[in-house]
């Protein structure tokens, strides 16, 4: 299960980093920043998001998957008792 959790956390972190890069870039350009400044700022924010996301998403996804597994086990037990 840990391999799946790590893969999901890595994918979620990558998606969030991409979104933060785009939003930071667009916001910097809209507010009058130069293109190079926008790229530098967006890259810094994306890297920070990658680092923080790796720390936060893994336990979050693990707890969600554990909750889903417990719910499914409860449903399976309820089905067995009904038969």
Domain assignment of residue 39, given as a range: 2-82
Tens of pLDDT, residue by residue over 54-80, are 888 888 888 888 899 899 988 888 888
Q: Which two tokens stand for residue 50?
A: 């990658």
> What's the gap between Cα 49 and its chain centre?
9
pLDDT of 83 above 80: no
Domains contained in the chain, number: 1
Q: How far is it, in rounded angstroms, from Cα 21 to Cα 42?
A: 5
User: Sign of the C-alpha dihedral, residues 5, 7, 8, 13?
Assistant: positive
Q: What is the pLDDT of residues 9-54, one digit of tens each?
A: 888 999 999 999 999 999 999 999 999 999 999 999 999 999 999 8
Tokens 């790796």, residue? 54
Instruction: Determine contact, residues 30/63, Cβ cutoff 8 Å.
Output: no
């Amino acid at each position: 299960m840990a391999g799946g959790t790590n893969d999901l956390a890595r994918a979620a972190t990558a998606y969030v980093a991409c979104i933060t890069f785009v939003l930071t870039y667009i916001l910097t350009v809209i507010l009058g920043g130069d293109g190079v400044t926008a790229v530098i700022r967006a890259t810094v924010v994306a890297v920070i998001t990658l680092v923080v996301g790796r720390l936060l998403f893994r336990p979050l996804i693990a707890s969600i998957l554990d909750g889903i597994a417990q719910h499914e086990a409860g449903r399976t037990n309820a089905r067995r008792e009904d038969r």
